[in-house]
Amino acid sequence: MLNVFIGLPKTGTTFIQQRLHALAAPMRNQGVHVFRGRPNYNDLYLLFSPEPEKEHDNVRKGLTSRDAAEARNRTIVREFRSELDSWRAGPFRTGVLSGEALGLLSPEGAVELHSMLAEYADAINIIVFTRNPIDFATSFAQELIKGGSTIAREEKWPSLPCYARRIGGFAEAFGRDNITVVDYDHASKQHGGILRRALQVMGLPPAVDEDEPAGTRPNASLSMNAVRILSRINEIYPVIGVPEPKLVGRKTIIDLLSKIGGDKFSMPPHWRKMVKNLSLDDCIWLRDVFGIDYTSFDISRLHSKTVDIPEIFLDDLANIIYEASCKVEVFISDSLRFRSEAAAHRGDVDSVAMLQRSLQMILS
């Protein structure tokens, strides 16, 4: 049996694949081969793209000609088939492969993937976690804002889970009975969480995750305050749609913002209602085909979040954090003092105190 995680964004796939990769040695003792090349075979989807030179991952690497993209594909195929050969030749009863980007494949791409894997595996289990569309779209919006988008842009163009398009092609290519769909929302609340559930659907005992370390998962949520500041940074210092975006220091910006407290990020009520309505047909499809029902998800339980930082200070805070990320001579404390003195000179004493309180969350 070959278990293949095709992922849907923001459903814990990164966390699962990193833990499975870390557990590769004890799992081998149980006859399970975790593909050891790397935790995530995301680049596999390039093999099945009709125009690989136009895919973002190749464009980012400068491989914008068909010859360059196909040369990379030949390397991917060679390395991946070597991994498949090692799995088939070994004393393993099952294999585990994760490739989040495989969930982006077209129906035709899913058929091609099936043809390749069927050369090595008699049985294939496609595993995908799903999430209610409001939480999915909210989490996806935050991730895009981390990458340079803005709250205003994500409010206008929400990212939807598109269950039928992403999963339906795999159901046709691999067969409905070979697709395992797991409700992320339910699994995350159970003992052992999504990792324990992933092991269960692969028919593996839970004992191998007993050493799971405490701590937050990757891609932990930022606070509402932090995302508002980050969105403003992206407006003042854009990295999307500019010829030479400044990407150095982005990690520092996120690290600083992660220290800001307050309620977790959420989008406004009208946006949640829009996402629910836009996703209704997909939710009906998922319910009818796989029995996971998000059609009655109650958006009224998602209350508006508290905002502690006044709008008037967003520019100041955005500039202070951006300056700190650039490692220039104006450090956070100096920036705060300069802006506070300017406000005091205007006689705006209340603003000075409020700005200082806002920065205390960052400096603590």
Domains and CATH numbers, the chain: 2-209 (3.40.50.300), 224-264+298-363 (no CATH)
**pLDDT digits over 26-40, tens only?**
888 888 898 876 657
- Per the CB < 8 A criterion, the answer to whether 9 and 140 are in contact is yes
State the DSSP code for 338: H
State the DSSP code for 122: S
**pLDDT digits over 239-270, tens only?**
877 666 666 678 888 888 887 777 888 888 89
Q: How far is residue 271 CA from its own chain's centroid?
A: 20
Structure tokens at 67: 């010859």
Say how many residues make up the chain. 364
Grade residue 136 by pLDDT with cuts at 50, 70 and 90. very high
Q: Residue 99's pLDDT is what? A: 84
Side-chain-side CA neighbours of residue 59 (13 Å)? 4
The DSSP code sequence of 309-323 is: S-GGGHHHHHHHHHH
The DSSP code sequence of 328-362 is: -S--HHHHHHHHHHHHHHTT-HHHHHHHHHHHHHH
Structure-token match 């210092």, residue found: 237
Whether pLDDT at 361 is above 60: no
- Per the CB < 8 A criterion, the answer to whether 120 and 95 are in contact is no
**pLDDT digits over 157-216, tens only?**
999 999 999 899 999 999 999 999 999 989 988 888 899 999 999 988 775 554 444 433
Whether pLDDT at 340 is above 70: no
Q: Residue 56's pLDDT is what? A: 80
Q: Residue 314's pLDDT is what? A: 74
